[in-house]
Structure 1
Amino acid sequence: MFLIDGAASLMKPTVLMVDVDGVVIRHPDPSGWSACVEEDLGVPRLALQTRFFKPCWDDVVHGRAALRDRLAPALTEIAPHVSCSQLIAYWFEGDAHLDKALLLQLADVRASGVPLHLATVQEHERASYLWNTLKLRDLFDDMHYAAQLGVSKPSQDFYAAVEERVSLPASAIAFIDDKEENVEVARARGWNAALWTPGATLTALIPELTD
């Protein structure tokens, strides 16, 4: 940060951190990937929530348990005809709707010399799917995710872990996320953070990207 006529001004960020779900990926159905899982696979949606996501997801997404180790017993109980691999493929493939308009904007930012990193709440398998199968590795320079760090947004510890991982001060980092709480915590740490909404313009949200 530097001063012009006594007023604080933000410098061009060293890196732009980008959230995944709700930003890079936006499902067209507000109910998300599981909206039709019962009719498509015969997996009761409510039972999946109560038997797997509610009791197990916190451990899985923070890297304390493997996805399949917790999902397999739940499926055996609620949908024994469906394997972990079947459900995971349905989930990951159904939750892979890229916002191509945003990706074009991000490509321009990257071409201007600002690296792009993903900062996201993911477990290990979906993180790998996003990076390798969906090939976000071709569009972004790095990814920082909850299971890897052991913490998730909006905890201050998530942002601190990212700062340590990239060896940059908060003031050097720009960030977009679709959740106000995540943005507020990032701002409190000193990140140049903006709330992303569909159809927004990156340079309007973070003008410093064009400096």
Structure 2
Amino acid sequence: MAIKAILWDCDGVLQHPAHDWDDALSRLGGAEFTAALFEAEHAALRGERSLRDVVADLVDLHPVAVSVEDVLALWSLFEADEPAWQVVDDARAAGVRCVLATNQQDIRVELMRHERKYDDRVDGAYYSSEIGHMKPSREFFEAILADLDIEAQEALFVDDVLSNIESARSLGIVAVHHDPASGAAELRREVAEHIPDLRQ
């Protein structure tokens, strides 16, 4: 069955952090604070709470010499991988719909949509906090397939996290497990196995 749409993960595929997360957060609040923050962020990633409220609660619970704004600022430190985005552009030019399928909380959605203008570069954007489910849940993928009105076998999903890949494949979605360290040339090769027009 021909691929009609590509579901693109963002972090690790189309964009990369400008810092080491564990190191940056540990310097701000220590290892305990970092672990608590990543766990608490899940509520924001599912759209149940604002990330600002999540961080404010944690700063109150864990005495740290940083402000809420100091912590939130870390989520703005990421860089678009333009060679990877060129693969998206070329796939769209080949007639394949390209959509974002990414775990993001409200702060990141605002940045990616309005500051970085990512939504303008694709045919749709599915952010976990707006869907109400986050990868690797089946509900995340099911919501996207239903909205796109396509069969699972007509979707190609690209992600760097193996648990997300396994969940997508369990639904019948074609999936590519991309190693961020392999670069955009390898990303093109991986996607071109399913979209021949991308071969160079």
Scaled by the length of structure 1, the TM-score of the pair is 0.79
Q: CA deviation at 1:207?
A: 2.6
The question of whether the paired residues in 2 share the 8 Å contact of 1:119 and 1:145 is answered with yes
Cα separation, partners in 2 of 1:176 and 1:97, compared to 1, 3 Å: same
Query: Residue 86 in 1 paired to residue 70 in 2?
Result: yes
Q: What is the aligned partner in structure 2 of residue 157 from structure 1?
A: 139
Q: What is the aligned partner in structure 2 of residue 58 from structure 1?
A: 42
Cα separation, partners in 2 of 1:88 and 1:188, compared to 1, 3 Å: same
Q: What is the aligned partner in structure 2 of residue 202 from structure 1?
A: 188
Gaps spanning 5+ residues in structure 1: where? 2-10
Q: What is the aligned partner in structure 1 of residue 113 from structure 2?
A: 131
Deviation per residue, 1:94-130 (Å, 9 max, x gap): 2x12222211222111222222111111112212211
Deviation per residue, 1:53-84 (Å, 9 max, x gap): 33x22222111122122211222344566432
The question of whether the paired residues in 2 share the 8 Å contact of 1:176 and 1:193 is answered with yes
Deviates more, 1:102-111 or 1:201-210: 201-210
Cα separation, partners in 2 of 1:16 and 1:47, compared to 1, 3 Å: same
Q: Which has the higher helix share?
A: 2
SS at match of 1:194: strand
Q: CA deviation at 1:151?
A: 1.6
**Partners in 2 of 1:178 and 1:207 — Cα distance?**
17
Query: Residue 19 in 1 paired to residue 9 in 2?
Result: yes
Cα separation, partners in 2 of 1:182 and 1:82, compared to 1, 3 Å: same
**Partners in 2 of 1:148 and 1:107 — Cα distance?**
24
**Partners in 1 of 2:86 and 2:72 — Cα distance?**
29
**Partners in 2 of 1:74 and 1:146 — Cα distance?**
22
**Partners in 2 of 1:67 and 1:27 — Cα distance?**
18
Query: Residue 166 in 1 paired to residue 159 in 2?
Result: no
Cα separation, partners in 2 of 1:35 and 1:134, compared to 1, 3 Å: farther
The question of whether the paired residues in 1 share the 8 Å contact of 2:15 and 2:80 is answered with yes
Cα separation, partners in 2 of 1:188 and 1:49, compared to 1, 3 Å: same
Deviates more, 1:123-132 or 1:75-84: 75-84
SS at match of 1:26: strand
Q: What is the aligned partner in structure 2 of residue 117 from structure 1?
A: 99
Alignment coverage as a number of residue pairs: 193
The question of whether the paired residues in 1 share the 8 Å contact of 2:176 and 2:190 is answered with no
Give the aligned CA root-mean-square deviation in angstroms.
2.3
Cα separation, partners in 2 of 1:186 and 1:52, compared to 1, 3 Å: closer
Cα separation, partners in 2 of 1:155 and 1:113, compared to 1, 3 Å: same
Deviates more, 1:136-145 or 1:16-25: 136-145
**Aligned ranges for residues 91-102 of structure 1 at < 5 Å?**
91-94=74-77, 96-102=78-84
Scaled by the length of structure 2, the TM-score of the pair is 0.83
Cα separation, partners in 2 of 1:205 and 1:105, compared to 1, 3 Å: closer
**Partners in 2 of 1:158 and 1:15 — Cα distance?**
16
